[in-house]
A = this chain, B = another copy of it.
């Protein structure tokens, strides 16, 4: 019996999120666990780096599980994929230490958010983007982004895994880039609160649209209990968000970060 780390890609459109929620809902975890059972997995629940929301996509979600496997890693990769539907695919398999946990051992996560500047519906692009018009100014977004950098109390931007948990997070990167009518926001942090990336994108967009002042972002990080950004509730749509990467120490050992 060994523990394996698997990198997963999925199109979140037809899933009710990552996490199993009961028999009815089609979830990424549910279809992956079914696929693993086909190859002899007898665990109760796989481990995952993050629970993406309904409609959120991934190219670099990380899961782990224990399995008796006598063949090669490549054969394991093929066996997992043979039992998965077209909208989920394992991208990589590697052996992991017996205590490896994809969430607690992660040192950082990276998400990418896609915005499309188009006045009219664009059926071939909207599956994976938030369509907005009129176009936002890249400089406005970049100025809003600079306020989010660093270690802050992000309680106004999302909720912790457990009620009352630590809401401090360290944002290592918030980078907006534009190519023609397509905008991307790359966000990297040690970890994220629930809904935090979509809330961050929503608020930066609101600033670029003139609906919030940049100062209200700064105020909300300083005084999350009376956050100015609360006057504009909302999240950027899930379809624009992709979990791109979860980083670990090279040997997948524990980074010894203290978790709430």
Contact = CB atoms under 8 A, between A and B. Distances in A.
Given A81-B120, A120-B81, A121-B81, A127 B11 contact: yes
Interface in A84-139: 86-91, 120-124, 126-128
Interface in A190-204: none
Contacts of A89: 120-123
A103 to B, nearest CB: 22
A86 B123 contact: yes
Nearest to A242: B124
A59 to B, nearest CB: 6
A10 interface: yes
B81 A124 contact: no
A88 B124 CA distance: 9
Contacts of A120: 77, 81, 89-91
A24 to B, nearest CB: 22
A200 B7 CA distance: 36
Contact of A121 (B86, B123, B124): B86
A-B complex: 6 closest residue pairs judged by Cβ atoms: A89-B121, A11-B123, A87-B123, A9-B123, A10-B123, A11-B124
Given A57-B124, A87-B123, A124-B128, 19 more contacts: A9-B121, A9-B123, A9-B124, A10-B123, A10-B124, A11-B123, A11-B127, A57-B123, A59-B124, A81-B120, A86-B123, A88-B123, A89-B120, A89-B121, A89-B122, A89-B123, A90-B120, A124-B242, A127-B127
